[in-house]
Amino acid sequence: MAANGVWKGRIDPSFAKGPSILPLAPAASTLAIRLIGSTRASFDGADLPLPASRKTRAILAYLLLADRPVSRQQLCELFFDVPDDPRAALRWSLSKLRGVLEADGVERVRTQRDQVSIDTAGLWVDALALRSLPHDLGSLDAVALAAVLGWSPEPLLADADLPNRPDYAAWLVAERHRAQAVLALVLTALAERQEDNPAAQIEPLQRLIALDPLDAAAYQRLIAVLVELGRRSDAEALAGQAERALAQNGIDPGAALRQPLRRRIDTSVAAVDPAPPLPERASAAPVVAVLPVVDLSMEPLPGHVTDGFFEGLVHALSRFQSLVTIAGASTSRMRGVIDDPVEIARRLGADILVGGSLIATRDGTLRFRWRAIDGQTARIVTSGELEGHCDDVWDLQEAAARVVAVEVEPRAQAEALRARAACPTASASAYDHYLRGVVAAFRADPRDFGTALDHFEQAIALDPRFHPALALAPWAASYANRIRTPAERDHYAAMSRAALRHGADDARTLATAGGALCYMARDHAAAWQAVNRAITINPNEHTAWSTGGWMHAMNGDAAEAHRMFDRSSRLNPLASNALGLTAGRAMAELLAGSAEQAEAYVIEALDGSESHPSALMTGVATAALLGLAQLEQRRAALLRLYPEGIDSQSIRHLPFERPECQERYFAALRLGGVPG
């Protein structure tokens, strides 16, 4: 299989990336780029400054890992929005990358006609070093393999997530999975080479568990090592930790996990005690099990193709902390099983089953069909179909992972509520419109917010007490710029109050509606009361912490805003509002008097979405205060969203609690040429 996931030969042999095997550590005088963890560059032992733009770092990685030159058109579509002159933005990014990649005097950024590539000759890249390793690691000694222990434990491109660029996000998921799989092989081989030195096995085994916290075999080996070293209390603690982690994800840890402990207690006893009973599932989050993808083609596809779809779905769904995704190893035993879905769900301990099939036709068309099934009733919750070509199987795998994850997560949450008899409406049609609205809002595009609002309002028309829809509709209206008069603002403020009345015991509704009421009616006291009650009901509700963070940000209380945003991010780092948190940090820093720090957050937010309303507002302010060249472009983008400028309802009624904060913010916008 080629490195880009396609089994047919599509790599230009003249575009080879370096020698057959690269060392896992760079030579001292080599220009080195590290993509594992946060992106870093160094030359001759000294760090090189990288562009602050997250999107520029993402472009660097995409070109470095590409198997062939990439067209400018493809890069523009992948990373930029059309209204923002993507080719000019791409030229700017490439000019910044030249300063890093050519620090040793070698011209590496190649542009030929419409193609862009990076010549990696003489360049060391950690991700390419992983790719270059042979399948059989026996030719590498322990010293060579141990170099990976000095690498960051964070995932590939940990500082270059762009959640609002879905095609790039899907590519990044696949690349992270690929790097993680090779790292796991290296760490396993390193531990095996150290069998005569138990102490040296601890670090690679710990790193292996950090890579996959559900690797029962790694836990068992590390427990055995700790017992051998006389660290019995540490081994007992690790066994308990492993049992909890596995059980919470629907995996039976079995008796083998504690076998090393029992052998040390009494090696003369032939029989061992039965494994301890599984603890109750600790999380209320819905459990999703991904079943192996079935090949229904007349001529069977290579096994790695179906496995690629299966692993992609597991990995994409596992990124949502609002779900518990059962590991692929525990569901792969269901390959080829034809059984009642309810029985399969019972055996796996799953609320939702996700399954799919592939059909390849003789003309090369590849069709992927998928469905999500309620594990209680066997009812199909949602389904879909994607089509591509066998030569582009990797693109289809990426699209499948992205589409299925975005569709399944909100449906799984809703089905969990229904199963707990907590569905806040008896109207199936209202419920369906609400779910459609949530999926549209997840895309975080201004046009999609309008679609989301339409669905929320239809849900409310069918059930006026449906509090999740009542809470979300005001936000969708604001982001879609549908609030243009005081009467419309009063309408959505009343809707927020209705959500608070009908959802008084629902933490997410309280936080969402409280924030909306603050925005629509500037009722700060009621908003804080709702947020504090939400945190009391559920301290792990990330929406409550993000709403509180925004309220502090608009008061210029940067320290408290960051604290609440940090808590929200830790609870759900992949939340759809991640860019909103970054934009909130920018506003907090600006109102606290640090325009430079605010600009850094603006760049990060706009890298994710060039049209993010809050980031654009603060971005105009920081560009004006700092005299930046980006001012004109940002102002034009902001006025496309809000032609009335400061006099638009969405800007004029920003809920500043302190008058001086409002005046400071609006003064910076006027300095940037925003009318009003």
**What CATH code is carried by the domain that includes residue 133?**
1.10.10.10
550 and 528 in contact (C-beta within 8 Å)?
Answer: no
Q: Which two tokens stand for residue 397?
A: 């795998």
Asked whether residue 398 is assigned to any structural domain, the reply reads yes
Assess whether 347 and 460 both reside in one domain: no
Q: Which H or E run contains 111?
A: strand 109-112
The pair phi, psi for residue 348, each rounded to 5°, is -90, -15
As beta bridge partners, residue 125 has 33
Q: Can you give the pLDDT at residue 332?
A: 52
Asked whether residue 211 is assigned to any structural domain, the reply reads no
The domain containing residue 351 runs over which residues?
287-419
Assess whether 361 and 448 both reside in one domain: no
Domain count, the chain: 3
Q: Can you give the pLDDT at residue 137?
A: 77
Assess whether 410 and 490 both reside in one domain: no
Which residues in 585-610 are b (16+ Cβ under 10 Å) and which e? bbbbbbbbeebebbbebbbbbbbbbb
Residue 628 φ/ψ region, left for φ over 0, alpha for ψ in the -120 to 50 degree band, beta for the rest: beta
Asked whether residue 218 is assigned to any structural domain, the reply reads no
390 and 8 in contact (C-beta within 8 Å)?
Answer: yes
Asked whether residue 547 is assigned to any structural domain, the reply reads yes
Boundary-marking domain end, from 374, 390, 419: 419
Q: How far apart are CA 365 and CA 285, in angstroms?
A: 37
Assess whether 573 and 625 both reside in one domain: yes
Q: How far apart are CA 613 and CA 640, in angstroms?
A: 10
Q: How far apart are CA 220 and CA 217, in angstroms?
A: 5
Q: Can you give the pLDDT at residue 75?
A: 92
* pTM beyond 0.75, yes or no: no
Assess whether 557 and 639 both reside in one domain: yes
Assess whether 410 and 496 both reside in one domain: no
Q: How far apart are CA 340 and CA 501, in angstroms?
A: 42
* CATH code where residue 348 lies: 3.40.50.10070
250 and 345 in contact (C-beta within 8 Å)?
Answer: no
Q: Can you give the pLDDT at residue 124?
A: 93
In whole angstroms, what separates CA 96 from the centre of its chain? 26
Asked whether residue 327 is assigned to any structural domain, the reply reads yes
Asked whether residue 597 is assigned to any structural domain, the reply reads yes
Asked whether residue 38 is assigned to any structural domain, the reply reads yes
Assess whether 478 and 411 both reside in one domain: no
Assess whether 442 and 510 both reside in one domain: yes
Q: How far apart are CA 620 and CA 218, in angstroms?
A: 51
Boundary-marking domain end, from 419, 447, 469: 419
521 and 478 in contact (C-beta within 8 Å)?
Answer: no
3-class DSSP state of 573: coil
Assess whether 596 and 452 both reside in one domain: yes
Asked whether residue 206 is assigned to any structural domain, the reply reads no
478 and 580 in contact (C-beta within 8 Å)?
Answer: no
Residue 529 CB neighbours (<10 A):
15
Angle value at C-alpha 94, between 93 and 95, nearest 5 degrees:
90
Assess whether 332 and 465 both reside in one domain: no
Q: How far apart are CA 82 and CA 261, in angstroms?
A: 61
DSSP letters along 178-243, please? Answer: HHHHHHHHHHHHHHHHTTT-HHHHHHHHHHHHHH-TT-HHHHHHHHHHHHHTT-HHHHHHHHHHHH
User: Alpha-carbon dihedral of residues 245, 249, 255, 259, nearest 10 degrees?
Assistant: -30
Mean pLDDT by 10 residues, the chain (676 residues): 30 41 83 92 88 91 91 90 78 91 90 89 91 78 85 87 82 85 87 85 88 82 86 82 74 70 42 34 67 85 83 79 64 52 75 89 89 84 86 83 82 64 65 78 66 89 90 87 85 92 88 90 89 84 88 90 85 64 92 92 87 91 94 93 87 88 94 93
Assess whether 379 and 484 both reside in one domain: no
Q: Which two tokens stand for residue 574?
A: 């992949």
* CATH code where residue 642 lies: 1.25.40.10
Q: How far apart are CA 533 and CA 510, in angstroms?
A: 7
Boundary-marking domain end, from 394, 419, 444: 419
Identity of residue 504: A
Alpha-helical segments (H) within 229-374: 232-248, 259-265, 303-318, 328-331, 341-348
256 and 220 in contact (C-beta within 8 Å)?
Answer: yes
Assess whether 414 and 491 both reside in one domain: no
